Structure 1
Amino acid sequence: MAGPGWGLPRLDGFILTERLGSGTYATVYKAYAKKDTREVVAIKCVAKKSLNKASVENLLTEIEILKGIRHPHIVQLKDFQWDNDNIYLIMEFCAGGDLSRFIHTRRILPEKVARVFMQQLASALQFLHERNISHLDLKPQNILLSSLERPHLKLADFGFAQHMSPWDEKHVLRGSPLYMAPEMVCRRQYDARVDLWSVGVILYEALFGQPPFASRSFSELEEKIRSNRLIELPLRPQLSLDCRDLLQRLLERDPSRRISFQDFFAHPWVDLEHMPSGESLAQAVRRLMEIGKGGLIADPPIPQTALVVEAVKKDQEGDAAAALSLYCKALDFFVPALHYEVDAKRKEAIKAKVGQYVSRAEELKAIVSSSNQALLRQGTTVQELLREMARDKPRLLAALEVASAAMAKEEETGKERDALDLYQHSLGELLLLLAAEAPGRRRELLHTEVQNLMARAEYLKEQIKIKESHWEAESLDKEGLSESVRSSCTLQ
């Protein structure tokens, strides 16, 4: 039975309604199942006459890989069919379009949004990596969004994907030049690490609005990629130190020096362990119910319960700073769990526990605050000495001015985030200067200053975490359950 409109393929069981896009050898259509469910799907239609030997192999590999995959951030292959003219891949439909369009309509993405997306992409890549699968064509156009209201990333288009162990090497040119790793563009042997370079380019484009090697021609692009010049990150927008560190380690031209998959998944900015998803938080929610006020009353401890046990221990020993830090780390697990628990009784129990942790953290914060004021005074003294010794170092003086501005901002009520941003910006500069500073008294003072500023930054992070946890708990008291779950999944 023909689909509505002219030129649309026919496929039993489905009504094809519109063309969504086309690629090298396939066209994708939106369609409805004729069953009672009227399920919306995307149908990838491949004309048999357009296939050469290489594209047949790619298509068979794509089907083989996708039919065995079920992951929340990978587009699902529901079925595949064929007739005399075409092969049809019936895929999960993603109403939000692709990541490229999402970025370009917003010009750039805030770091917080980019981080959520990067966690989701990393989760999909970790799943593939564990199965020795490399995508080999990572780009924003191949990353779809489940919807625009509550966007979740879905990795798509496995036409170039390969089963590759980390030690396998290839030399066939695959993928899209803008997102291709230098070793692939230069037609050298490459391995699975090319996907990590592509991730770096995608993240760069999300944060700065265009890929690092945007060019007017392929020859210009190739020249930029082949160059040995260090990739410099724009100063604006201002990003966290962890975010900049990850970008620089992903965009390392030499694959032997590029971040490894395991280090990428564990990187503090990606931090898959704390990824706010229903799946990753389910264990935390279950275990939270097993925590008594003074410790664990169940099986062997896992990381999040161990944090609480250790926090209680440090609290009892009188180590307020360590206890505060541990309570804040524990909240990284449990506060997001409030949004994902749907059982009302369990949700109330979690809220009560989070309330206890926040309350104790507030008390500990007051204790720690007085000792931090002494640290702040010590930092001021070190800064004054450094300024005297840095009159010939304008870059050092400028970084110290930013640190002073951070201290001043910290004294203002409600300006913790602004102060933290300034501390991180100052530390980014001072760490570079410390690495280049010759041994001597100035280096010793600079080292002390960096340690002081790091301590201030960590303290502010804990203050922010306590406030956010308090707000989260309060918002759940004020809102209905369905509204809170819905808003938690919405990216502003």
Structure 2
Amino acid sequence: SVASTKVCSLDEEEGPPLEETPIPIVPSSISDRYKVGRMIGDGNFAVVHECVEHSTGRAYALKIINKGKCRGKEHMIQNEVAILRRVKHPNIVLLIEEMDTYSELYLVMELVKGGDLFDAITSTNRYTERDASGMLYNLANAIKYLHSLNIVHRDIKPENLLVYEHQDGSTSLKLGDFGLATVVDGPLYTVCGTPTYVAPEIIAETGYGLKVDIWAAGVITYILLCGFPPFRGSTDDQEALFDQILLGQLEFPLPYWDNVSDSAKELIVSMLQVEVDQRYTALQVLEHPWVTNDGLSENEHQLSVAGKIKKHFNTGPKPSNNTPGVSVMTLDHDFSIQRSGSLDFYQNPGMFWIRMQLNTEKMYHGLIIIIFFYKLSNCIFNINNNELIMLKSTF
């Protein structure tokens, strides 16, 4: 059973072993308390190592952010860390402590070794609606907590839902990667996210708020029950996908939905309402019978979704340098790219979806540029002297 307990951590995933890397030299404030071990992931400006606390023997993830690689982007790090300081919830990756030096910022994070959501489904021998309901319960609890703080995550997707394995053998989920999270104090207009999970109001640029997270959770729930996303465009036509999302015409095609309960379908419809006012809140999701009744416990029919997930989402061993929880690139404010590296594996493995808004008063006010990069697996992007620059990187 995949998710029977209602709770995964930063920067840890299964896959091919990483190449041997030297143990970093860390300040005494770190080494006196933690033994730093192997690297378990890296991003554009951060690496993540396992570490063990000397006094307790507990393992954590040590995220080391290179400030030199973040010049001009300091605000994005500050924003992410500020949010991580605030959030403390069993379904959210926990920041244990932070240590700041002149050249690096060290974040000691909770460590979870169970892989991500899709890993859990594709590796289990038995998977039912009850399991899917437990997963949604975990996610909705995390969202409810964030929204109570007026925090929107904006990048809820299976890769950021990590599996925590309890001592009794049960598993639960934790939400990680807060690189796009922000406090909502009015309508947001920054276009960001991953295409498969992005809400229609983000695409429409009409202003959005907390409920974009509910839309993403609805898409994930749909996938959990059939193995493919509700809105699908061809691999070479991203705009077709956006058009489908804007229309929000939801279907439950046979035979894939034959054995799924009407209660589950009803909940998904309520989570994927194009009209934001009609879309469920996290509390309404948690109070829905399909969630409170553990996915209708009488429905123990096994769902055959693992193969479809593998086909549509390119699951399996992941590149060693692509680690859940390591923020790839999260710029903000003027001359900014809000996300570089949000991948939609269903649409086209290796395709990056980037939407850039240049909104200074002097140049390109209100100009929206949509750029699609195909088959670029090792690149990041930066703004330099008002130009878009592509850089080689270990993405």
TM-score (norm: length of structure 2): 0.61
Distance 1:25 1:215 in 2: 32
Q: Unaligned stretches of 5+ in structure 2?
A: 1-18, 302-395
- Do 1:185 and 1:222's aligned partners in 2 also have CA atoms closer than 8 Å? no
CA spacing shift, 1:8–1:417, aligned 2, 3 Å: closer
CA spacing shift, 1:38–1:160, aligned 2, 3 Å: same
1:9 to 24, 27, 30: 24
1:42 to 39, 54, 61: 61
Percentage identity across paired residues of the two chains:
30
CA spacing shift, 1:83–1:269, aligned 2, 3 Å: same
1:240 to 253, 261, 270: 261
What SS does the corresponding residue of 2:221 show, helix, strand or coil?
helix
Shift of 1:194: 0.5
Per-residue CA shift, 1:229-267, capped at 9, x if unaligned?
612123324211211111112122332332234422322
2:110 to 82, 89, 92: 92
TM-score (norm: length of structure 1): 0.50
- Do 2:232 and 2:241's aligned partners in 1 also have CA atoms closer than 8 Å? no
Alignment of 1:87-236 (within 5 A): 87-106=105-124, 109-147=127-165, 149-164=169-184, 168-214=186-232, 217=235, 220-227=237-244, 228=247, 230-235=249-254, 236=256
- Counterpart of 2:104, as a letter, is N
RMSD: 3.0
Per-residue CA shift, 1:110-149, capped at 9, x if unaligned?
2110101111111121111211111111111111111284
CA spacing shift, 1:89–1:113, aligned 2, 3 Å: same
- Do 1:170 and 1:189's aligned partners in 2 also have CA atoms closer than 8 Å? yes
1:21 to 11, 32, 41: 41
- Do 1:214 and 1:221's aligned partners in 2 also have CA atoms closer than 8 Å? no
Shift of 1:215: 5.1
- Do 2:129 and 2:300's aligned partners in 1 also have CA atoms closer than 8 Å? no
Distance 1:187 1:108 in 2: 41
Alignment of 1:260-409 (within 5 A): 260-271=281-292
Distance 1:248 1:87 in 2: 43
Greater fraction strand: 2
Distance 1:47 1:229 in 2: 42
Higher relative contact order (CA 8 A, sep 6+): 2
Distance 1:107 1:185 in 2: 38
Shift of 1:36: 3.1
CA spacing shift, 1:254–1:60, aligned 2, 3 Å: same
- Do 1:103 and 1:209's aligned partners in 2 also have CA atoms closer than 8 Å? no
Q: Which residue of 1 aligns with 2:330?
A: none
Aligned length: 271
Greater fraction helix: 1
What SS does the corresponding residue of 1:32 show, helix, strand or coil?
strand
Distance 2:241 2:126 in 1: 23
- Counterpart of 1:183, as a letter, is E
- Do 1:144 and 1:156's aligned partners in 2 also have CA atoms closer than 8 Å? yes
- Do 2:248 and 2:273's aligned partners in 1 also have CA atoms closer than 8 Å? no
Per-residue CA shift, 1:158-189, capped at 9, x if unaligned?
11111125xx2111122222211122134331
Name the stretch that deviates more: 176-185 or 71-80: 176-185
CA spacing shift, 1:38–1:88, aligned 2, 3 Å: same
Q: Which has the greater radius of gyration?
A: 1
- Counterpart of 1:10, as a letter, is I
Q: Unaligned stretches of 5+ in structure 1?
A: 277-331, 333-415, 420-492
- Counterpart of 1:264, as a letter, is V
Distance 1:43 1:249 in 2: 39
Per-residue CA shift, 1:327-351, capped at 9, x if unaligned?
xxxxx9xxxxxxxxxxxxxxxxxxx
What SS does the corresponding residue of 2:289 show, helix, strand or coil?
coil
Shift of 1:23: 4.1
- Do 2:141 and 2:282's aligned partners in 1 also have CA atoms closer than 8 Å? no
Q: Which residue of 2 aligns with 1:252?
A: 273
CA spacing shift, 1:185–1:47, aligned 2, 3 Å: farther
